[in-house]
Structure 1
């Protein structure tokens, strides 16, 4: 059952992260506590779930995927800690709790984000894959995290705030800011599962559609949701004059685009000729999620 698999993998990811993160009673205690606050706060764990779902679909053992699943989530969590800072999105709420700079302070939040990022690469460097595979996985995570991925996308997002941009520019922005790390999670699972070039191409198509769908749904939730449901401040995009898919396409067209992307994901998975029920469930979850 896909739901049972997803629940088990989510619990596995939580346990791995709790074990990898530093002991909050050890020095420097404030930094360690901030790191744990930024990670162990009830996230969706979409990226670890993708690593487990892809890897096991291709025949990898679950325990061989733990390091990759934890590493990509640590990078994601570091990015959220920094995104919430006053210099970036200036948010007080994340996953229903005070953001790290609010719960601690700005300097500690910056250090916590830095430490989570380096811990991610330290964790992935210990993955049980052969050295050649492990280096390829490290390269994927580095590429997805830097100027050709998440950081580059965030820079484009800052530049676009308050400006009028075309749809193609918005799609490129989010292919880097949001899509790159989701694609990385898919590629980490594919590398661990020894995907063939054909399988890797199909999975990339799935990942690209998933990343875009994730962002469109996020944009819709920002105008349709509330802070209690979302676990973060609603209406921030409009307040900060950010370019979003609903603002460019309209709400109805954005919802229609979600359904088109869901069809692309289904077709990509069908071409794998494997049991992709967990990946199909994740695709639906992205399109239908309420937070």
Structure 2
């Protein structure tokens, strides 16, 4: 954590579609944790994968945040403008000997649980395009940290595999971009969904190699359907409500999903009133370290 500045959090969605109820819970948890600490809350649009980012999706996300009263500080950071910063970081990792080119395709190693590291000592097929991977077997292992909700964590990155930093199509991969951008924005606290918990070892490994500050981490329980499936854009989770009544209801339900026990009367109040109460009463101690939360029956805007 960077102790030279106050609390600085962020919400960093991929604009592959509009926000859904699970996204709202993650954004709200991040927002409340920052505001309760009298800190800053930033928004970053992680649009490094253009094929996954339809036109207008980012604008929709920003409008949704505003509709729910989640106002951010400063300018929005757009990852598609950050190519030079990512390349500088990759060059540094190459110079350190912990990033290497890899010609292997997923089809070639699909029989293995993780990529076997075939190109660590030289590109297997120099005639093929290459991705750049992180050597997960180097540096301090295992990676250990204290999650603010789930407690002590320990992972050996080598058991997770050599993650891709830059793809064969020259698009940047998530792990490198998020580390570089968190450092650039001086993020002190990362609050996000539990599905990203096992990404943290790679990110801390990169932070250590690049000499970057290591933020604190708080991973939130995932919102799942009645069938136990994670809400996501990939499984066509419905977009957040846009009508006034639906917005109030879903914001209240998101507070309940974060175990904040909002008074029932708050459900009829506009977002500004709900958020004012929520910031004043934010309690991490009330948040139960369960892996999942079921989506409330009426969280779909169509109900």
The TM-score with structure 2 as length reference comes to 0.27
Q: Per residue, is there more strand in 1 or in 2?
A: 2
- Which is higher, the Rg of structure 1 or of structure 2? 2
The TM-score with structure 1 as length reference comes to 0.28
Give the structure, 1 or 2, with the largest relative contact order (CA under 8 Å, sep 6 or more).
Answer: 2
